[in-house]
Amino acid sequence: MTHSENEVYPPSPEFVAQAHIDGAKYEEMYAASVNDPEAFWGEQGKTLDWIKPYTKVKNTTFEYPNVSIKWFEDGVLNVAANCIDRHLDTRGDQTAIIWEPDDPNAPARHITYRELHEQVSKLGNVLKGLGIAKGDRVVLYMPMIPEAAFAMLACARIGAIHSVVFGGFSPDALASRIEDCSAKLVITADEAPRGGRNTPLKANADKAMEICGDVPMLVVSRTGGGPGMKEGRDHSYEALMAEASADCPPEPMGAEDPLFILYTSGSTGKPKGVLHTSGGYLLYVSLTHKYVFDYHDGDIFWCTADVGWVTGHSYIVYGPLANGATTLMFEGVPTYPDAGRFWAVCEKHKVNQFYTAPTAIRALMGQGPQFVDPYDLSSLKVLGTVGEPINPEAWHWYNDHVGKGRCPIVDTWWQTETGGHLLTPLPGAIPTKPGSATKPFFGVQPVVLDAQSGEEITTTEAEGVLCMKDSWPGQMRTVFGDHERFVKTYFSDYKGYYFSGDGCRRDADGYYWITGRVDDVINVSGHRMGTAEVESALVAHPKVSEAAVVGYPHPVKGQGIYCYVTLMAGEEYTDELREELRQWVRKEIGPIATPDVIQWAPGLPKTRSGKIMRRILRKIAENDFGNLGDTSTLADPSVVDDLIANRANT
Ligand code: WT7
């Protein structure tokens, strides 16, 4: 089955009748938002609680090289107070966080807004007691437990900047992030249970500190396992919390004061520290959470992402809590104890909005309908996807078996850099087409540029690179410690625009279809991976002289990691070494970067000036030999035939 732009699924009249936004309202609000952003966002900004109201709304320019982005710049607020304190009078006893543990037989936790307030306030004081002050960086390397959310919010409460590092990252990756942001504290846990196995977080953090030097650590006891504490460096979370006061007034923060840093991969160099600030970010994630998922008071919202990714920041923690929602946090994996776990959790907690990634849907689809059909999924109202384009097979399976044809599917396109959804249907307003992220959210002005000329394509039907013409409040503000890199990465290729790095097509109805990255970034199970990062991990091995990494189509992951490796002269090309290199990359970066394929490449296709022709390597990995293009500029065209002859089976 291929994508068909003629296959259109409008929401049911019953859904539209109860939705916040219908088609006409979307058109009206969208027009208002782009015709007068100042007025639109000035009004929306009032949905937050301000300690000192803003008088300025938008002060942004994409003009190269003077890029500068400020929203609500003279306003003062506290993000944690917006996510907690302001709800206490109206919903203090409502559950803020439902926590579902990895082990289905262990009890779930229900944390009310009042309890959240107490825990976050105490932790704020614990952080202060450890010497953390406004502007300091705190790295979080945590399991999916409520303490991860407490830690994010406690940082926000006292004005510290958190940087969450995904628990699947290696000690090396953790160390480089601790170093890059000069973290003053690391918050971790002894171990992270996932799928019945424990990831040794504390042991990994110990190893990281052998690389980057000791940093004080606050350690949550999740399993009671893991290594011992290092005297003078490590502190027990439980011990310090037991003595902490619950009186921790929220720190007044400028709207443009940093809230968090989140590292993400790019096409070159080491991961960038994407910096988000307080006011605009919180407004943008709360508004998108409310409208994109059509969230109503009392609904149970579940985003299956890990808090180590931006999806977890925006749609497990900040967006839902700013809206006074009940947000579900799941510690486990979709396939443990079996491929029915997601649906068992939906049934158990009566989930109303469910948000996951196409790769998870494909994996579960592959296990068969017997894992989903027995569950009562009648509470579901809206389904969402994020991370990569969803293929029509997976879309239909999701729609039929999970949504029972009743639930609009919102395919949300966005990025770590964008803070929240940019292209997405509003479920009561925009008929969906399987595989399309449909239309822009309020205030978002997408344009399609011709990749070569950089000219805006103004016809409705268009194909090219996806850029944004103007700023939205959730946009990243800079790369931490390297504003020049920010300007160069996003604003220098196409002057005057924000360049997303994605290609796209706009159809005759003005719907956007993402065609994938146009740079050297690949998307593995919805996780962004710089091919350069995998290459540098490979060449760090003493037997490797050169490596080139590309993506190739993978039935479950979307893209798999295909590596071409040249060994040092005299080294033997063996299967054992191939496996050793896979494990090596896994150790250097983390399990998500484990190569799927390593093809030995005694020679790589290079131009006469020595540049590796990745275009050709991509084609070979994609099994598309008829289409190699011009190979005459290669220094030695015969290497291409060798690579084709020895292509790995995928
Ligand atoms: C890249 C951003 C934003 C949270 C998840 C990943 C791809 C994301 C979609 C979608 C097609 C998508 C893009 C984008 N992507 N959502 N709905 N349809 N592609 O965040 O790691 O910052 O990756 O993910 O290529 O540029 P990220």
Residues in a beta bridge with 42: none
Closest-CA residue, ligand 1 atom 14, reads 415
Ligand 1 contact via 419 beta carbon (within 6 Å): no
Ligand 1 contact via 520 beta carbon (within 6 Å): no
Q: Name the token pair of 470.
A: 């103007």
Q: Which ligand 1 atom lies nearest to the CA of residue 412? A: 17
Are 464 and 457 within 8 A, CB to CB?
yes
3-state secondary structure 143-156: CCCHHHHHHHHHHH
Query: How far apart (Å, rounded) are the C-alpha atoms in residues 186 and 101?
Result: 23
Q: Which ligand 1 atom lies nearest to the CA of residue 311? A: 4
pLDDT more than 90, % of the chain = 94
Ligand 1 contact via 476 beta carbon (within 6 Å): no
Hey, which of 274, 304, 306, 388 would you mutate to test ligand 1's pocket, going by the most ligand atoms within 8 Å of its Cβ? 388
Residues in a beta bridge with 60: 69
Closest-CA residue, ligand 1 atom 3, reads 415
Provide the 3-class DSSP secondary structure of residue 265: coil
Residues of the chain with CATH 3.40.50.12780: 13-54+75-461
Annotated binding site: 194-197, 311, 387-389, 411-416, 502, 517, 525, 528, 539, 541, 544, 586
Ligand 1 contact via 324 beta carbon (within 6 Å): no
CA of 371 from ligand 1 middle (Å) equals 28
Hey, which of 262, 355, 523 would you mutate to test ligand 1's pocket, going by the most ligand atoms within 8 Å of its Cβ? 523
CATH number attached to the domain at 13-54+75-461: 3.40.50.12780
Looking at residue 2, its pLDDT comes to 54
Q: Which ligand 1 atom lies nearest to the CA of residue 521? A: 25
Single pTM value for the model = 0.96
Ligand 1 contact via 421 beta carbon (within 6 Å): no
The H-assigned helical ranges of 269-329 are 279-292, 310-312, 319-322
Question: Please, which residues have CB within 8 angstroms of residue 376's CB and are 6 or more apart in sequence?
Answer: 347
CA distance readout (Å), 270 to 530, 531, 589: 9, 11, 11
Query: If you average pLDDT over residues 611-621, what whole number do you get?
Result: 92
Ligand 1 contact via 409 beta carbon (within 6 Å): no
DSSP 539-568: HTSTTEEEEEEEEEEETTTEEEEEEEEEEP
Ligand 1 contact via 315 beta carbon (within 6 Å): no
Query: How far apart (Å, rounded) are the C-alpha atoms in residues 330 and 346?
Result: 11
Query: If you average pLDDT over residues 557-578, what whole number do you get?
Result: 96
Query: If you average pLDDT over residues 180-189, what whole number do you get?
Result: 98
CA distance readout (Å), 643 to 5, 253, 601, 647, 648: 37, 57, 7, 6, 9
The two beta strands, 95-100 and 326-330, are parallel
Asked if residue 129 has pLDDT above 80, the reply is: yes
Q: Which ligand 1 atom lies nearest to the CA of residue 514? A: 11
Asked if residue 4 has pLDDT above 80, the reply is: no
Residue 518: pLDDT band (50, 70, 90) is: very high
Q: What is the pLDDT of residues 210-260, one digit of tens each?
A: 999 999 999 999 999 989 999 999 999 999 999 999 999 999 999 999 999
**CATH superfamily of the 525-646 domain:** ANL, C-terminal domain (3.30.300.30)
Query: If you average pLDDT over residues 78-94, what whole number do you get?
Result: 98
DSSP 568-582: PTT----HHHHHHHH
CA dihedral 399, 317, 283, 89 (to 10 degrees): 110
Q: What is the pLDDT of residues 42-77, one digit of tens each?
A: 999 999 999 999 999 999 999 999 999 999 999 999
Asked if residue 158 has pLDDT above 70, the reply is: yes
Q: Name the token pair of 83.
A: 């996510």
Closest-CA residue, ligand 1 atom 13, reads 388
Ligand 1 contact via 424 beta carbon (within 6 Å): no
Annotated binding site for CoA: 194-197, 311, 525, 586
Q: Is the torsion defined by CA of 315, 320, 321, 326 positive or negative?
A: negative
Looking at residue 266, its pLDDT comes to 87
Q: Name the token pair of 432.
A: 């969906």
Instruction: Tell me the pLDDT of the chain averaged across its residues.
Output: 96
Query: If you average pLDDT over residues 410-420, what whole number do you get?
Result: 98
pLDDT more than 70, % of the chain = 100
574, with CB counted inside 10 A (0-12, 13-18, 19+), is exposed
Ligand 1 contact via 415 beta carbon (within 6 Å): yes
Residues of the chain with CATH 3.30.300.30: 525-646
Query: How far apart (Å, rounded) are the C-alpha atoms in residues 447 and 44?
Result: 24
Q: What is the pLDDT of residues 376-391, one digit of tens each?
A: 999 999 999 999 999 9
Query: If you average pLDDT over residues 322-327, what whole number do you get?
Result: 98
CA of 26 from ligand 1 middle (Å) equals 24
* C-alpha 30, offset from chain centre: 25
DSSP designation for 9: B
CA of 469 from ligand 1 middle (Å) equals 19
Asked if residue 648 has pLDDT above 90, the reply is: no
Looking up tokens 């510290």, which residue turns up?
160
Asked if residue 1 has pLDDT above 50, the reply is: no
Q: What is the pLDDT of residues 417-469, one digit of tens each?
A: 999 999 999 999 999 999 999 999 999 999 999 999 999 999 999 999 999 99
Closest-CA residue, ligand 1 atom 23, reads 415
Closest-CA residue, ligand 1 atom 19, reads 388
Q: Name the token pair of 439.
A: 């239309």
Ligand 1 contact via 416 beta carbon (within 6 Å): yes
Closest-CA residue, ligand 1 atom 17, reads 413
Whether a cis peptide bond, with omega within 30° of 0, leads into 65 is yes
